[in-house]
A and B are shown apart, each in its own frame.
Chain A
Amino acid sequence: MTAKQVIGQAAFVGFTEFKHVYTLKTWLTGWMLRLVSQVVFFGLVGKMAGDRITAEYVLLGNVVTVMAIEATLVITTAALERFQGTYPMLVASPTNMGLVYLGRGLHWVVAGLGSSALVLALVWGLFRPDWNWRVAVFALPCLALIGISAYAYGAFLAACSLRHHKFRWLYLNFGFTLLMTFCGANVPRSFWPAPIEWFTEFLPLSHGLAAVRTLAAAGPVSEVVGQLALEICVAGLWAVLTLVFFERIAGKGRRDGSLNFTS
């Protein structure tokens, strides 16, 4: 099979499974309620600490972060293969297991795109922030790119969690909270010490969020395009790391017979 076919088949499995995760009712009363209230919560924290501009800054940052949070949910999907007993078969197959995982959770990117777009619309309606109309028009492609880079980052963390699947929730929570904290969602990245700010250059969300902020402030299009290009580079970096790391995990698992026996 070609790489495209592997990713396509893995994505098909993921989408089929996803139909059984939520009903429309549980998605609205469970997941969406959480996401909207999370964004409102941080918006109110921003309002308490600063003025209307601060609140709008924090609101926009957290709306966009919704996309990254949902994309990193691929970390929980990775452990499914262990539970279903299909993990050794994937390792035994001739293709790179990382390719499977790069397709296996793509439904989270699509779901995240829907969630973040809806949250953006609701927050805009509720708070009437002073964002430029361009956000409404161009948010979707920006969110999609952020979703893909956060997904590749999540797939890398999923690879790490395979050897410690009991810690998979820890990897997930730590993974997206790191993005929420340091990638400019609540305070500018320049607030952090220089080494941390430098490191965030390589994390998903940083550049995509900067692009959305530029759109909201009616900034130059060239800057938006430049930031989105950097976000694509970040996505590529994490995708390559995922492929390399999965190969290493599979190789080690074959050597020491630990594929199905790590905690």
Chain B
Amino acid sequence: MAAAAKVQWNTSIRAPEHMAIVITAPIMSVIFLSIVRYNDRDDLVANAVIGTGLFGIWFVAVDVAGGVIQNERWMSTLDLVLAAPRAFGLVVCGRILPVMLIGAFTLLESWLVATVGFGAHLSVRHPGIALAALLVTLFATACTATMLATFFVISRDTTIYQNALSYPFYILGGVVFPLSALPDWIQPAGRVVFLSWSADLLRDSLSGDEVQDVLPRLGAIAGLGALALLLGIYLIRKAAERARRTGTVSLA
């Protein structure tokens, strides 16, 4: 995982496309904040800021997960990586982890847009909880994106699925609005998406009220992430076995 992380870091700092979110995240932040400000709902500034941050973190993870598979395929090295004795899922997860820093940076950008651009006052009332929630969220994101990489192994064009794996997760993860904004029947599905726990906890860490059940909520995020990683390793192995059997590793 460390070697994979090193490869990805060296790749990403030379690849402007991996930095695209650093440019687009502040604009997304402006969209959310403009809706909030236009409707005189400054109480929702935290939703807009945290929403943009989670948006950026998820975007980078899915972008890199798809990009890893696509690039290995273009460079004809996917066959070699799949033939290696180590689980490919761990390699993918290792490559996603370092770019989570780029995703986390969008949270800072969003906060800057809110305070400098919109003159909003946003203080973190529980910094320890916020930091812990952010770190666990980064871990869970990398793990979940690893699971989703299965789609990319079996897909000819990863861009199609990268697109599909964005907004449905923003809705189910309640990244900007709470899950209660969704119809009752869909809310349980949202609870299976770690982003919903992350968004709630991060929003609570900004409020002045006492934050309830911190450890169980952190555990839910980490647990869902760990479960996704295990499932990802298994599913990618299965997908790779099928690709080997049908001769479609490079020709999906």
Query: What is the interface of chain A, defined by CB distance below 8 A to chain B?
Result: 21-22, 26, 29-31, 33-34, 37-38, 40-42, 44-50, 54, 58, 166-167, 169-170, 173-174, 177-178, 180-181, 186-188, 191-192
Main SS of the interface on chain B? helix
In the complex, A50 Cα to B15 Cα: how many Å?
40
Which residues of the partner chain B approach A177 to less than 8 Å between Cβ atoms? 24, 27-28, 31
Q: What is the distance, in angstroms, from B112's C-beta to the closest C-beta of chain A?
A: 17
Query: Chain A at the B interface: mostly helix, strand, loop or mixed?
Result: helix
CB within 8 Å for A166 and B16 given contacts A33-B168, A41-B171, A48-B181: yes
Which of A30, A45, A170 has the largest number of chain B CB atoms within 10 A?
A45
Task: Check if A173 sits within 8 Å of B16, measured CB to CB.
Answer: no
B185 located at the interface, meaning its Cβ lies under 8 Å from any Cβ of chain A in the complex:
no
- Contact segment of B34-42, B94-102, B228-236: B34-42
**B20 engages A170 (CB within 8 Å):** yes
- The reply to whether A37 and B38 contact each other, CB–CB distance below 8 Å, is no
A40 CB contacts on chain B under 8 angstroms: 167, 171
Among listed B123-131, B139-147, B158-166, B204-212, interface-contacting one: B158-166
Alpha-carbon distance between A167 and B176 when the two chains are bound, in angstroms: 29
| Chain B residues, CB < 8 A from A38 | 166-167
With A30-B163, A169-B17, A186-B34 as contacts: A44 and B27 at CB distance below 8 Å: no
Contact pick for A37, options B167, B176, B178, B182, CB 8 Å? B167
Please tell me if the beta carbons of B31 and A181 are within 8 angstroms of each other in the complex: yes
Which of B16, B35, B167, B171 is within 8 Å of A170, CB to CB? B16
Check A174 against B31 for contact (C-beta < 8 Å): no
Query: When chains A and B are docked, how far (Å) is the Cα of A186 from the Cα of B37?
Result: 11
Contact with A along B220-243 (1 / 0, CB 8 A): 000000000000000000000000
- Considering the chains assembled together, what is the distance between the CA atoms of A192 and B161 in angstroms? 35
Q: Which 9 A-B pairs have the closest CB atoms?
A: A30-B160, A37-B167, A48-B177, A50-B39, A34-B163, A187-B38, A49-B39, A38-B167, A30-B164
Bound form: Cα–Cα A97–B61 in Å: 37
Instruction: State which of A41, A167, A174 has its C-beta within 8 Å of the C-beta of B167.
Output: A41
How many residue pairs, one in A and one in B, have C-beta atoms under 8 Å apart?
102
> Contact: A37 with B171, CB < 8 Å?
yes
- Cα A27 to Cα B242 in complex, Å, equals 24
Which chain A residue lies CB-closest to B160? Answer: A30
**Contact surface of B with A, Cβ cutoff 8 Å:** 15-17, 19-20, 23-24, 27-28, 30-32, 34-39, 41, 44, 47, 157, 160-161, 163-164, 166-168, 170-171, 176-178, 181-182
Write the nearest CB–CB distance from A122 to chain B, whole angstroms.
Answer: 14
Chain A: minimal CB distance from B153 (Å): 15
* Contact partners of B47 in chain A: CB under 8 A: 48
Q: In angstroms, how far is the closest chain A Cβ from the Cβ of B156?
A: 8
Q: Are A169 and B20 in contact (CB under 8 A)?
A: yes
Q: List 7 A-B contacts (CB under 8 A).
A: A41-B170, A44-B181, A170-B19, A187-B38, A188-B38, A191-B34, A192-B34
Q: In whole angstroms, how far apart are the Cα atoms of A48 and B48 in the complex? A: 11
Give, as a whole number of angstroms, the nearest-CB distance from A23 to chain B: 9
**What residue of chain B has the Cβ atom nearest to residue A173's Cβ?**
B24
B17 touches A166 (CB 8 A): yes
B168 lies within 8 A of A44 (CB): no
Nearest CB on B from A193, distance (A): 11
Contacts A41-B170, A44-B171, A48-B47; is A33 near B164 (CB within 8 Å)? yes
Q: What chain B residues lie within 8 Å of A181 (beta carbons)?
A: 27, 30-31, 34
Evaluate contact between A26 and B160: CB separation under 8 angstroms.
yes
* Contact between chains at A174 and B16 (CB < 8 Å): no
Question: With the chains together, A40 CA to B41 CA distance in Å?
Answer: 20
- A210 to B: closest C-beta gap in Å: 17
Complex Cα–Cα for A205 and B41 (A): 27
Q: Contact check, B32 vs A45: say whether CB atoms are below 8 A apart.
A: yes
**Which of chain B's residues have a CB closer than 8 A to the CB of A54?**
35, 39
